[in-house]
Amino acid sequence: MSSDRIVGIDLGTTNSLVAFMQGSDPVVIPGDDGLNLVPSVVALDEHDQIIVGNSARKYLIDTPERSVYSVKRLMGRGLEDIQEELKLFPFHLADDLHPGEVLRIKLGQKTFSPPEISAFILRQLKRNAERFFNAQVTKAVITVPAYFNDAQRQATKDAGRIAGLEVLRLVNEPTAASLAYGLDKKQNGIVAVYDLGGGTFDVSILKLHDGIFEVISTNGDTHLGGDDIDNILIHIALDDIRGDMGMDVSRNGEAVARIRKAVIETKIALSSQATAHLDVELPEGRRYQREITQEHFEKLIQPIIDRTVGPCKQALKDAGLKPEQIDEVVLVGGSTRIPRVRALVEDMFKRTPHTGLNPDEVVALGAAVQANILAGGSEATENMLLLDVTPLSLGIEVAGGVTDKIILRNSTIPASATQHYTTQVDGQVNVAIHVLQGERELAKDCRSLARFDLRGVPPMTAGIPRIEVKFLIDANGILHVSAREQRSGKQAEIEVQPSYGLTDEQVESMILDSFDYAEEDFRQRQVIEARNEADTILAALEKGRQSPAWGQLTSPEKKQIAKLENALVQVRGEDDYAAIRKAIDTLNQATTRLAELMMDSAVSTALTGKTMDEADMGEGPTAPHPVAKAEFK
Ligand code: ADP
Ligand code: MG
């Protein structure tokens, strides 16, 4: 198999998937558990090994302080952006975080940035694909929500790099879903994509012209999805158990987890059958059972699914369209399997939605289609560019702390624009460029994306230098900014490192840290433990030599011990824990008689004693350095 195969990845809030193009059809690659969906859950087990996916789920209940889910909510965000998430989700952040710093999440004693956590999920998907192809996989297309800003996109790209994947393209999830249905072949039309997942709801309106997609509006609710449906059912069950059985299990984590599992099964069953049976084993040998009809279920969830109506209307309004103007409707997200949800969508957009593909796989399938296009695998779509729009305006801070917009929101990307500026002070040699994102007039009200300096401008009278600032948003939605003083030709440029983003150095060191993180960590600890054990036995041997028992050994015995001691000292300095252990064992055997002779001394215990030490895992990120204020006119 070709080793430069490009896979498509849906890095979801609840579930993640990897897919590839098999002939003319995209297919999802299952994990070794045979399942297509990898839950986006990461945990650290009792040996400090990273566990991902289905097998990590039990840690959410057993050791919540060593596990994390929904990390997508934290990607590319700062402490002040996520206060709401912290109220709603059990994220354990590192204690020593400062505003403006990259977030770090605690798993046991270790901390990881959100891109590192996402990288563990990506690594699992990469491994699944490699097992499937029996070949290395190093290139991927990854999907992101259409509303993801620059920092969130950068963080996703960083996650890919940390996982050892070259991210060839970030594709908007609704665009990917439309591609999976081959809607690009229709050339022109308006597509509405309704995505109700586990914890988020997104609606996007896409315009298709000449086979090119353009996201013309997006809306949604970042706290609405299948989880809310689960919670309603859990509350009903808890009420029943309290009322009918006189038990309060609402604070029993394990019981609630069992109820959650059971109600999700019931919910899923009710998407395809008229009634379902809920059956949960409770503490003290008790058991909760009840029938739920589809009719009752639909009544219960109506308020939840009604909350998707407002965002849909707003998205249509922003796009300047009426429901009748929608040509195609695409359903995305596991929760759109619910018949009542489908009916509501049909009612809203006056179109029968596409349902041929699994709604929780369709985004990954579309990513695989895009990957195939980039690989040049499809002639029909070879020249196809996928257009997106930038959701927020981009600009720089100018004199007086004012925002000067360079690329306006809703511009189609790739996009580029240039503006000219000059200096404010006579003889000014350095110009600070502060890159901003947002619609507000004052720089302080916009999101600060990056700062850099244009240095070494020859001293001139204020107003004479001619500084050209160029913004380019590439096909991934990532911003490149350059500044050039045209008289002197002095130039500075950056690929924007958004605030709360990671520096290249940080990403590099995370790549190194995470390189087969789990295996490496485990191996290192083995080496350290083996060395400690070697030290213990060597010290004990030294004591033995000083003891009267030494004199009772024969000369060949003493020679043999000395030889094995040297061998142990030799391998102790190397990184092969198995070799160290082997040398310890042989030396142990050779010193058994010595130990017996010394039985009444404490040394015999030391000879077989063990010590444990934790491996030290790298250093933390370095602090960013400050820059001067903008002085433009
Ligand atoms: P995300 O995009 O947020 O990662 P998914 O698209 O995988 O999530 O959707 C996950 C949600 O879909 C979960 O809440 C899950 O319970 C729900 N779900 C999956 N299958 C069904 C079904 N047959 N009926 C109802 N809900 C379902
Ligand atoms: Mg999704």
pLDDT tens for residues 118-140?
999 999 999 999 989 888 899 99
Q: What integer pLDDT is reported at residue 524 of this predicted model?
A: 66
**Of the spans 26-30, 206-210, 444-448, which averages the highest pLDDT?**
26-30
Q: 12-16, 238-242, 587-591 — which is least confidently predicted?
A: 587-591
**Which protein residue has the closest C-alpha to ligand 1 atom 26?**
335
How many Å apart are CA 195 and CA 580, to the nearest integer? 55
Ligand 1 atom with least separation from CA of 264:
16
Which of the listed residues 10, 11, 13, 15 should we mutate to test ligand 1's pocket, taking the one with most ligand atoms within 8 A of CB?
15
pTM of the model: 0.70
Question: Which tokens is 460 given?
Answer: 């001139």
How deeply is 7 buried, as exposed, middle or buried, from its count of CB atoms within 10 A (0-12, 13-18, 19+)?
A: buried
The residues annotated as belonging to the active site are: 10, 72, 173, 195
CB atoms within 10 A of CB 51: 20
35 lies in the same domain as 46: yes
411 is a domain residue: yes
DSSP per residue, 142-185: EEE-TT--HHHHHHHHHHHHHTT-EEEEEEEHHHHHHHHTTGGG
Q: How far apart are CA 133 and CA 137, in angstroms?
A: 8
In residues, how long is the chain?
633
Q: 233 in a domain, yes or no?
A: yes
> Among positive and negative, which fits the CA dihedral 459, 463, 464, 470?
positive
- Per mean pLDDT, which range of 34-38, 339-343, 442-446, 497-501 is the poorest? 497-501
Sequence-ordered list of residues with C-beta below 8 angstroms from that of 176, at least 6 positions apart, any chain: 8, 10, 143, 362, 363, 364, 365, 366, 367, 369, 370
What span, in angstroms and rounded, lies between the C-alpha atoms of 25 and 368?
Answer: 9
Ligand lying closest to the C-alpha of residue 198: 1
Q: Is the pLDDT reported for residue 3 higher than 70?
A: no
- Take atom 16 of ligand 1 and give the residue whose Cα is closest: 226
Q: Mean pLDDT, to the nearest integer, of 152-163?
A: 92
Q: Which residue has the tokens 């970030």?
A: 170
Domain end call among 270, 304, 338: 304
What spacing in Å lies between the alpha carbon of 333 and ligand 1's midpoint? 6
Nearest CA to ligand 1 atom 23: 268
pLDDT at 30: 96
> CB neighbours of 399 closer than 8 A, spacing ≥ 6?
424, 630, 631, 632, 633
> 41 alpha carbon to ligand 1 midpoint, in Å?
15
Q: Are residues 158 and 230 in the same domain?
A: no
- Could you tell me if 160 and 12 lie in one domain? yes
Ligand 1 geometric centre to CA of 268 (Å) = 9
Query: Which residue from 14, 173, 342, 355 has its CB within 8 A of the most atoms of ligand 1, so it is best to mutate?
Result: 14
Query: Is there a contact between 421 and 398 (Cβ–Cβ < 8 Å)?
Result: yes
Question: Which strand (E) or helix (H) includes residue 234?
Answer: helix 226-245
For residue 410, what pLDDT is reported? Answer: 67
Which of 21-25, 213-217, 467-471, 584-588 bottoms out in mean pLDDT, i.e. has the lowest?
A: 213-217
Q: Is the pLDDT of residue 518 over 60?
A: no
Nearest to 340 by CA among 290, 292, 300, 291: 300
Statement to judge: residues 536 and 601 lie in one domain: yes
Gap between the Cα atoms of 431 and 139, Å rounded: 38
The residue out of 501, 526, 561 marking a domain boundary is 501
Asked whether 428 and 215 are in contact (CB, 8 A), the reply is no
Given this model, what pLDDT does residue 598 score? 79
Domain that holds residue 270: 226-304
Distance CA 118, CA 122 (A): 6
449: CB partners within 8 A, 6+ apart = 150, 151, 394, 435, 436, 437, 479, 496, 498, 499
Query: How many whole angstroms separate alpha carbon 574 and alpha carbon 566?
Result: 13
Query: For residues 101 and 484, what is the distance between their CA atoms, to the nearest angstrom?
Result: 30
Q: Residue 226 C-alpha to ligand 2 middle, in angstroms?
A: 11
Residues 379 and 257 in one domain: no
Q: How many domains does the chain have?
A: 4
What is each CA distance from 165 to 6, 32, 102, 521, in whole angstroms? Answer: 10, 20, 21, 21
**Which residue puts its alpha carbon closest to atom 11 of ligand 1?**
198
The CA distance from 628 to 357, in Å, is: 53
Label residues 151-188 b or e (16+ Cβ within 10 Å = b).
Answer: bbbbbbbbbbbbbbbebbbbbbbbbbbbbbbebbeeee
| Index of the ligand 1 atom closest to the CA of residue 37 | 7
Distance 361 CA to ligand 1 centre (A): 10
Helix, coil or strand: residue 238: helix
- The model's pLDDT over 378-390, given as tens digits with 9 standing for 90+, comes to 554 444 555 566 6
Considering the domain boundaries, does residue 487 fall inside one?
yes
Which residues have any ligand 1 atom within 6 Å of their CB?
Answer: 12-15, 197-200, 225-227, 264, 267-268, 271, 333-335, 337-338, 360
- Smallest CA-to-CA distance from 307 within 435, 201, 449, 432 is with 201
- Over the Cα atoms of the chain, what is R_g? 30
Give the closest residue (by CA) to ligand 1 atom 6: 333
Q: Reading across the β-sheet that carries 67-69, which strands appear in turn?
A: 50-52, 41-44, 67-69
Domain contains 72: yes
Same domain as 495, residue 362: no
Tell whether 492 and 524 lie within a shared domain.
Answer: no
In a domain, 96, yes or no: yes
Q: Rounded to the nearest whole angstrom, what is the distance from the C-alpha of residue 262 to the centroid of ligand 1? A: 15
Atom 20 in ligand 1: residue holding the nearest Cα: 334
Task: Locate the ligand 1 atom nearest the alpha carbon of residue 200 and give its number.
Answer: 3
* The domain boundary residue, chosen from 363, 389, 415: 389
Quote the ligand 2 centre to 216 CA distance (angstroms): 19
Sequence-ordered strand ranges (E) for 356-446? 388-389, 394-398, 402-407, 412-413, 415-421, 431-437
User: Do 192 and 334 belong to one domain?
Assistant: yes
- Residue of the nearest CA to atom 2 in ligand 1? 197
Q: Residue 271 CA: which ligand 1 atom is closest?
A: 24
* 157 shares its domain with 119: yes
303 backbone dihedrals φ, ψ, rounded to 5°:
-60, -30
Using most ligand atoms within 8 A of CB, pick from 224, 267, 340 the residue to mutate for ligand 1.
267
* Ligand nearest to the backbone CA of 336: 1
470 with 516, same domain?
Answer: no
On whether residue 14 sits in a domain, the answer given is: yes
372 with 457, same domain: the answer is no
Identify which ligand lies nearest to the alpha carbon of 229: 1
Q: Would 1 be classed as within a structural domain?
A: no
What is the CATH classification number for the domain harbouring 28? 3.30.420.40
CATH for 287: 3.90.640.10
CATH code at position 421: 2.60.34.10
Same domain, 462 and 316: no
Q: What is the pLDDT of residue 177?
A: 97
Q: Output the six-digit token pair for 366.
A: 């579309």
Provide the CATH number for the domain around residue 611: 1.20.1270.10
Question: Measured on CA atoms in the order 388, 392, 396, 398, is the torsion positive or negative?
Answer: positive
78 domain residue, yes or no: yes
